[in-house]
């Protein structure tokens, strides 16, 4: 597991109208429940370092979104022997946080934003992307190569 926490500009997939990032954090994690749990904890800790305190609503919201996206990467995007990647980019001015979770299953595409089916009342799962859609300012999925897909969203931290 290797974390990258520099402040240099990063490649951003999907629409974004933000200035240069104020902070960047990226890490590869095992595609397991432990990796998903670690993604959630690392997100909360990194946001705290960036000034978004642990007990703030913004920290809890971003951490919940990461938990959902990481769980989806482990459940639906897992390939034997392959990790998933978490990337957090903090933009000044809002501030806004861009969350990206990349997994090795480009063949398993989630529904498009605005096209999520309602969850079945009989199922205990199927609500993760609905939470992402409800809590983020916008979200989407990109395929920048034939080997991975990235589900991303942006969250206002104010």
CATH code: domain of residue 96:
3.30.565.10
Identify the pLDDT of residue 111. 83
CA within 13 Å, CB half, 86: 34
Q: Residues 120-146: pLDDT tens digits?
A: 777 666 678 999 999 999 999 999 899
Domain membership of residue 80 (yes or no) is yes
Number of domains in the chain: 1
Instruction: Spell out the alpha helix ranges (H) of 102-151.
Output: 128-135
Identify the pLDDT of residue 126. 62
**In tens digits, what is the pLDDT along the chain, a chain of 158 residues?**
545 544 333 333 444 566 788 899 999 999 999 999 999 999 999 999 999 999 999 999 999 999 999 999 999 899 999 999 999 999 988 889 999 999 999 998 888 888 877 777 776 666 789 999 999 999 999 998 999 999 999 999 98
Domain membership of residue 28 (yes or no) is yes
Radius of gyration of the chain, Cα coordinates, nearest whole angstrom: 15
Question: CA-to-CA distance for 36 and 56, rounded, in angstroms?
Answer: 21
Structure tokens at 71: 């769980």
Q: What is the span of the domain harbouring residue 43?
A: 21-116+126-156
Domain membership of residue 64 (yes or no) is yes
């Amino acid at each position: 597991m290797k974390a990258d926490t520099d402040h240099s500009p990063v490649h951003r997939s999907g629409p974004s109208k933000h200035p240069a990032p104020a902070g960047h954090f990226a890490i590869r994690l095992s595609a397991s429940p432990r990796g998903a749990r670690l993604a959630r904890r690392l997100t909360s800790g990194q946001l705290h370092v960036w000034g978004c305190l642990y007990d703030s609503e913004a920290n809890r919201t971003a951490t919940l979104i990461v938990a959902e996206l990481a769980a989806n990467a482990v459940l639906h995007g897992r390939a034997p022997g392959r990790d998933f990647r978490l990337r957090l980019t903090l933009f000044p001015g809002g501030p806004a946080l861009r969350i990206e979770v990349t997994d090795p299953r480009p063949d398993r595409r989630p529904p498009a934003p605005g096209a999520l089916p309602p969850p079945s009342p009989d199922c205990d799962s199927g609500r993760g992307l609905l939470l992402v859609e409800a809590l983020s300012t916008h979200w989407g999925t990109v395929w920048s190569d034939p080997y991975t897909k990235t589900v991303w969203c942006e969250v206002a931290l104010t």
